Structure 1
Amino acid sequence: MSSGQWEVVGKNKKSQNGKLKQDDKKPPKSGPKLEDVVPHSQIKSFYSGMEIDDDRKPAKGKNGDKKGKKQEKKEPSKPKPPKTIEGAFELIDATELATIITTNKIRFSNAPLVWLKEVANFLNSKTQIEVDDPTFSQHPTLYPLSVVPEDIKTSLENVFQDAGKSNAQLFFDITLTALANDMSRGQSVNGHRVLLQILAKIYPEFCVASVPKSASLRNSYQNRPPIGLTLLWAFGQGGLSDFAIGMKAWQDLFLPVIELKNYSKYVVQYLSKLLDRHAMEAKVTQDQLLNMFDLVNSKRNGIPKDLSSDLIKQLNKYKDIYFNKSGNKLQVTFNQIMKKLPNQYLSGITLDPYNQVLVESLVDCLERDDSCNATWRQLFHKCSKQSATVLEYIDNHWSEVSPRLKSKSLKATVAQFKEVSADTLRGKKKDETIVKTNKICQDILDRMTSTRRFPWLWASFFLLVAICGLVAYDVSRVGGNFPKSATGKVFKDLGILEHSQHAWQKTLSTSARGYLWLETNAPIYYTNTIEFCKPYGQLSKDAFLIALKKASVLYENVKDYVVEKTPVVVSTIESYAPGLIDNVQSYTSAGITAVKKYSYDYYSLTADYLKTKVFVGDWAPEVLQNKTQTALNATRFHVSTYFHWFREQVHIYSEIP
């Protein structure tokens, strides 16, 4: 600028002949600095009020750096990622999910599988939570579907309905494979889990629609327990709503891996949950029961002892489900189960839990179908050792089993088996099993003919009260002196006091001896009377049951007739008086509501009044309870004292000639 004209800086100037000047090869010099032109004391005034727009430097004001730091903009804090599946689903925007579904339906209207895959990817991306327990054993049965918000769940169910059943089934198989593959890559699969649960809830049959493919997929990953358990968990979801589906999945997909250490516990736990969940409405056929016996018998020795015990418990539950819905025709079942027992005499500890379930099943057959006794008697020669096992079980559990069985039929069966045993014992060689069985039969027969304890305490009480009540009261008024009592004076005036005293002592002596005789012999006559009246009582019971069944049938017919004719009556009333029924129902509902309300109000008022005005002080519940307990203790003491006194008097008077 020394020449007073502008100069272009940064470009190479050429000479007139087109060659670069030698000075142009040097870098251009920068312009003069502000410090060289303006005095140092005035430099600060040039920067006063100026702001630097560079984002990397804080703005400075009059007060320097402190004010600049305060004027910095604070960035919004990022939301913390969820730590549970519940939290992840709560953060999902239902509107966003609905938009994705709608968009894919429009773009791929003829490709439902694309919609479903996009939904799966979306859910997996939003629920990236690590799962420690792939079977969710510490959570509710329907977890994680149970924590999905209702609006999201509704959207997912609707998209499956729109896709159609065939596409949904294909997607179910695809998702099972994707579940295993994604887990092997370490990716999140919680979205797959929820979608499989929803499909199993809508279409339970999908879980067992292709058992060979499912078994092949399970075998491919059974050496990787987290993936294998997750697949079993997915296969078992259909059983939560359908018992038959669950049992088929357990038998075909769960049971083959029960002997593997990492799977045994979950296989038994799933069966337990399945039986507990469907215990009331489930139904088991005879073939299914017998097949279950064989399956458990083949696997029970290949698992740990504690799990084997749990498996037998589940078999017992399965057996109970069968007998609860089996009806009263069980001769074939009895025959088949009897043949499943080992052909040997199982006594004491040799009767293992599995065979004990078989024996209990035979007892259930005898309880529900009395004709099974006839079937049993026909099997004596073919199944003598098995029959001995059953008889010993009945003898060892007599108090529990005998009330469930009909004594007449059981007595005939045991007596016939005893005869068969006696015929065998006449030979030269005596089988120890037959000897023991003969003793067991005799023990059972003795139990069935033994007398019940006669209630002699009550009989003696009423007898003596009837004979001596009035006289004892009269004598007690004069301190126990009979001649001074009203009865004694009358006897003295009549001249029969001495005779009456002698007669009284004789009466007491005779009554005491009679009481002791009754105490000894009354139980025998009581038992004979019961045995004589039992057939007539049974006949009356059968007649009552027949009448009850007829009444039940009549009730059902009347009920069906009323249900059938109710719509006709309602339509007739509506044609003649439109809206009458609705009005009556509304008034009735309002009346019932009012009655409930006022009843509750009056009940509350009465309860408050009794609590605050009546049952206070000496009438407080605690005081009344203490007084009642004291009175009961005193009564119990006096009754016990009287009983001992009475027994002493009986023995004293019984010795008087």
Structure 2
Amino acid sequence: MSSGQWEVVGKGKKSQSGKVKNNKDEEKKPTKNGVKSEEIVPKSQAKSYYEGMEIDDPKKAKKNGDKKKKQEKKAEASKPRPPKSLEEAFEVLDREELANIIATNKIRFSNAPLVWLKEVANFLNSKTQIEIEDPTFSSYDIKYPLCIVPNEVKKILEKVLLDAGKANTQLFFDVTLTTLANDMSRGQLVNGHRLLLQMLALEYPEFCITSLPKSVSLRNSYQNRPPIGLTLLWAFGQGGINNYAVGLKAWQELFFPIIELKNYSKYIVAYLSKLLDRHAKMDAKVSQEQLLAMFDTVSNKKNSLSKEVYSDLIKQLIKYKEIYFDKSGNKLQVTFNQLMKKLPNQYLSGASLDIYNGVLVESLVNCLQRDDSCHPTWRQLFNRCSKQSATLIDYIDENWEEVSPKLKKKSLKTTILQFQEVCEETLKGKKKDEAVVKANKKCQDILDRMTSTRRFPWLWASFFLFVTISGLIAYDVSRVGGELPKSATGKILNDLGILKQTQHAWQKTLSTSARGYLWLETNAPIYYVQTVEFTKPYAQLAKDVFIITSKKVGILYSNIKDYVSEKMPVVVATIEEYVPGAIETVQKHSCNAFSTLKMYSAQYYELTSNYLSTKVFVGEWAPEKLQNKTEVALNATKLHMNNYLHWLREKIHVYSEIP
């Protein structure tokens, strides 16, 4: 080294040609001044000096790499595993850290509760970094995620919200909605915001509808980004969990205006369904104005929604009107008037009565059922709403079994008779409207249904037999002045030695039977109606089972028929193969036998008919005389039966007074 400076021993340098010089050769070669590397760097320091430099020996390199991997694995094992769900995130959340953050901020910003709440929200967001696939939590409990928060954490959050005051928390609620949307648009996770918004909405439901203009503007800004829009709707709807009025207001003002958007329609209908189901038996109330507005709302969306969504919306309309009628009282004349005018001015029947108008007609029937004074109101509308009235009458006739028990027959009959008069007046003209003709026929059908009486003889058969026997015995006794010993029945009993006992038992039997008959005559119709109402669901179930079984049998028969049709050519071919001409011969003989039987049957019928008409039914046995005698016999029997029943009824009243 001529310059007197130290030379640095390191990697082999590249030459200008790009080749790397061999360090081993350099070690063998002395430096220019003849100084070896060992003289410059002692051997004890050589190992540490060369650490971190590239090693040309592959075995050493592999060994060092394995050591590094083991060290990295140990480091990873020592780190805490991040939570995979919100449940795990809330479970591992550090309660002390949360409490310390709140306490510190209360001291530093004692007059700024909003700062406390924002810091709490930021802390919760940082500790719940979980991706949410469904922003509305539709497959979870209605109070998710609050329901999975540990009680200790929940108490801490409730305390800080309470300390902040209602005014500050309301402002925080509005600010957080905007922050939530902005953070989601930047790709950040907002589970902390969701939790605090839900807690506030459950405690103060009115927060969800306090700033409706701001909420509408915020929804409109993000409605083209479904994850954010659905999250906002979820937050707006949390107030409806505990407050029906708030939930319904939020649905009308914030949900329904965007129901036509495909990404929102199903959730909007599902929210209304849950709202009605949750509050139907508690605090849900629907005013007349709300009911009519809901009908108008559904009618306006008829052509803008898919069939599935519209059908679901109709189901919610049915729930809505049931809530109204359950709690409306019995003053429904105005409601009936308004609903009648909402029906189309045309005669709807059968398939032409769609599901929306079907709900309207059902609502009209509900009005007639709950308020009988709706019948006069209906009669006043005949001239202005004749087509709508015809639609309602057609519905009553087509669903008579279901509708008739709900309506008072007397009022309905008066209404139908009056409408029939209107129809007949219209039909007097030269030009006859087909709709009026059909409506007139429906009126007559309903009147026929109401005037026809339905008898059930099986109910009285056994009792009538017993009463008949008792009546015959009573008649036998009455022939001898009412003295049982002198009657034929009494003589038989006297010969048997049981006359006195029979007289006593007879009086008791007559008395008890008469009282039982009178009781049954009074109460049987009542119990019959109750029995019918009780057994109606089971009868319907049996009917459905019979229909399903019949369909299954029909399908089985069709399958067997198809199978036989499919295999018949094979069978025929097989028979023809082994017994040629057998099938043709059988068919020929069968046809001949059937023709012969048919011929002889016709001849025998003709001979029998001629014999009876010429030899038997002549003279006193002529058909005309037999018919007259039958009529006389039937009339006489009817007269005697009436007299007997009248007499028997008088006796029953007499015997019923015997102690």
Matching residue of 2:421: 419
1:278-427 map, 5 Å: 278-281=279-282, 282-427=284-429
Measured in 1, the distance between the counterparts of 2:261 and 2:183 equals: 24
Measured in 1, the distance between the counterparts of 2:52 and 2:152 equals: 44
Deviation by residue 1:298-320 (Cα, 9 ceiling, x = unmatched): 11321110110000000010000
Unpaired runs of 5+ residues, structure 1, are 1-8, 11-24, 36-42, 44-50, 57-64, 472-486, 495-525, 535-653
Is residue 170 from structure 1 mapped to residue 171 from structure 2 by the alignment? yes
Measured in 1, the distance between the counterparts of 2:41 and 2:257 equals: 89
Measured in 2, the distance between the counterparts of 1:381 and 1:311 equals: 33
Q: CA deviation at 1:393?
A: 0.6
Deviation by residue 1:243-264 (Cα, 9 ceiling, x = unmatched): 1111111111111111111111
Deviation by residue 1:241-284 (Cα, 9 ceiling, x = unmatched): 11111111111111111111111111111111111111112011
Measured in 2, the distance between the counterparts of 1:492 and 1:263 equals: 90
Judged with a 3 Å threshold, the aligned counterparts in structure 2 of structure 1 residues 204 and 402 are, in CA distance, closer, same or farther, namely same
1:179 alignment partner AA: L
Q: Secondary structure of the residue that 2:224 maps to in structure 1?
A: coil
**Are 1:300 and 1:311, in contact at CA under 8 Å, matched by a contact in 2?**
no
Q: CA deviation at 1:161?
A: 1.6
Matching residue of 1:435: 437
Matching residue of 1:271: 272
Deviation by residue 1:119-138 (Cα, 9 ceiling, x = unmatched): 00000000010011111111
Measured in 1, the distance between the counterparts of 2:492 and 2:354 equals: 77
Q: CA deviation at 1:28?
A: 12
Measured in 1, the distance between the counterparts of 2:373 and 2:415 equals: 11
Matching residue of 2:226: 225
**Are 1:345 and 1:389, in contact at CA under 8 Å, matched by a contact in 2?**
yes
1:30-109 map, 5 Å: 77-109=78-110
Measured in 2, the distance between the counterparts of 1:272 and 1:371 equals: 33
Q: CA deviation at 1:158?
A: 1.9
Q: CA deviation at 1:458?
A: 4.0
Matching residue of 1:237: 238
Matching residue of 2:260: 259
The CA RMSD over aligned residues, in Å, is: 3.8
Q: Secondary structure of the residue that 2:413 maps to in structure 1?
A: helix
Unpaired runs of 5+ residues, structure 2, are 7-32, 54-63, 473-487, 496-520, 530-636, 638-659
Segment drifting more, 157-166 vs 363-372: 157-166
Q: Secondary structure of the residue that 1:388 maps to in structure 2?
A: helix
Q: CA deviation at 1:162?
A: 1.2
Is residue 205 from structure 1 mapped to residue 227 from structure 2 by the alignment? no
Judged with a 3 Å threshold, the aligned counterparts in structure 2 of structure 1 residues 28 and 362 are, in CA distance, closer, same or farther, namely same
1:285 alignment partner AA: S
Measured in 2, the distance between the counterparts of 1:422 and 1:365 equals: 27
Q: CA deviation at 1:31?
A: 6.0
Q: CA deviation at 1:463?
A: 3.4
Judged with a 3 Å threshold, the aligned counterparts in structure 2 of structure 1 residues 439 and 77 are, in CA distance, closer, same or farther, namely same
1:516-527 map, 5 Å: none
Matching residue of 1:589: none
**Are 1:275 and 1:317, in contact at CA under 8 Å, matched by a contact in 2?**
yes
Q: CA deviation at 1:79?
A: 2.3
Q: CA deviation at 1:27?
A: 11
Q: Secondary structure of the residue that 1:300 maps to in structure 2?
A: coil
Q: CA deviation at 1:429?
A: 2.0
Deviation by residue 1:10-51 (Cα, 9 ceiling, x = unmatched): 9xxxxxxxxxxxxxx99999768877xxxxxxx9xxxxxxx9
Matching residue of 1:216: 217
Q: Secondary structure of the residue that 1:382 maps to in structure 2?
A: coil
Q: Secondary structure of the residue that 1:332 maps to in structure 2?
A: helix
Matched residues, number: 442
2:377 alignment partner AA: T
**Are 1:124 and 1:191, in contact at CA under 8 Å, matched by a contact in 2?**
yes
Judged with a 3 Å threshold, the aligned counterparts in structure 2 of structure 1 residues 94 and 409 are, in CA distance, closer, same or farther, namely same
Q: CA deviation at 1:379?
A: 0.7
Q: CA deviation at 1:492?
A: 13
1:597-612 map, 5 Å: none
Measured in 1, the distance between the counterparts of 2:218 and 2:240 equals: 19
Judged with a 3 Å threshold, the aligned counterparts in structure 2 of structure 1 residues 458 and 305 are, in CA distance, closer, same or farther, namely closer
Judged with a 3 Å threshold, the aligned counterparts in structure 2 of structure 1 residues 195 and 27 are, in CA distance, closer, same or farther, namely farther
Measured in 2, the distance between the counterparts of 1:468 and 1:426 equals: 58
Q: CA deviation at 1:287?
A: 0.6
Q: Secondary structure of the residue that 1:262 maps to in structure 2?
A: helix
> Percentage identity across aligned positions?
65
Q: CA deviation at 1:434?
A: 1.3
1:277 alignment partner AA: R
Matching residue of 1:122: 123
**Are 1:414 and 1:441, in contact at CA under 8 Å, matched by a contact in 2?**
yes
Q: CA deviation at 1:380?
A: 0.7
Measured in 1, the distance between the counterparts of 2:313 and 2:34 equals: 95
Measured in 2, the distance between the counterparts of 1:26 and 1:89 equals: 72
TM-score, L = length of structure 2: 0.62
Measured in 2, the distance between the counterparts of 1:305 and 1:120 equals: 42
Q: CA deviation at 1:211?
A: 1.4
Deviation by residue 1:327-346 (Cα, 9 ceiling, x = unmatched): 01111111111111111111
1:505-654 map, 5 Å: none
Measured in 2, the distance between the counterparts of 1:493 and 1:94 equals: 102
Judged with a 3 Å threshold, the aligned counterparts in structure 2 of structure 1 residues 167 and 464 are, in CA distance, closer, same or farther, namely same
Judged with a 3 Å threshold, the aligned counterparts in structure 2 of structure 1 residues 413 and 102 are, in CA distance, closer, same or farther, namely same
Measured in 2, the distance between the counterparts of 1:171 and 1:91 equals: 26
1:360 alignment partner AA: E
Measured in 2, the distance between the counterparts of 1:245 and 1:55 equals: 69
Measured in 2, the distance between the counterparts of 1:492 and 1:277 equals: 74
Judged with a 3 Å threshold, the aligned counterparts in structure 2 of structure 1 residues 301 and 492 are, in CA distance, closer, same or farther, namely closer
Measured in 1, the distance between the counterparts of 2:42 and 2:350 equals: 112
Judged with a 3 Å threshold, the aligned counterparts in structure 2 of structure 1 residues 379 and 493 are, in CA distance, closer, same or farther, namely closer
Matching residue of 1:144: 145
Judged with a 3 Å threshold, the aligned counterparts in structure 2 of structure 1 residues 349 and 30 are, in CA distance, closer, same or farther, namely same
Q: CA deviation at 1:419?
A: 1.2
1:145-160 map, 5 Å: 145-160=146-161
Deviation by residue 1:180-226 (Cα, 9 ceiling, x = unmatched): 11111111111111111011111111111111211111111111111
Judged with a 3 Å threshold, the aligned counterparts in structure 2 of structure 1 residues 465 and 194 are, in CA distance, closer, same or farther, namely same
Measured in 1, the distance between the counterparts of 2:288 and 2:466 equals: 60
Q: Secondary structure of the residue that 1:453 maps to in structure 2?
A: coil
Measured in 2, the distance between the counterparts of 1:492 and 1:208 equals: 91
Judged with a 3 Å threshold, the aligned counterparts in structure 2 of structure 1 residues 34 and 371 are, in CA distance, closer, same or farther, namely closer
Measured in 1, the distance between the counterparts of 2:224 and 2:196 equals: 25
Q: CA deviation at 1:140?
A: 1.3
Measured in 1, the distance between the counterparts of 2:254 and 2:186 equals: 24
Q: CA deviation at 1:468?
A: 5.8
1:341 alignment partner AA: L
Q: CA deviation at 1:77?
A: 2.5
Judged with a 3 Å threshold, the aligned counterparts in structure 2 of structure 1 residues 269 and 530 are, in CA distance, closer, same or farther, namely closer
Measured in 1, the distance between the counterparts of 2:42 and 2:194 equals: 71
Measured in 2, the distance between the counterparts of 1:358 and 1:26 equals: 113
Judged with a 3 Å threshold, the aligned counterparts in structure 2 of structure 1 residues 492 and 93 are, in CA distance, closer, same or farther, namely closer
Measured in 1, the distance between the counterparts of 2:198 and 2:35 equals: 75
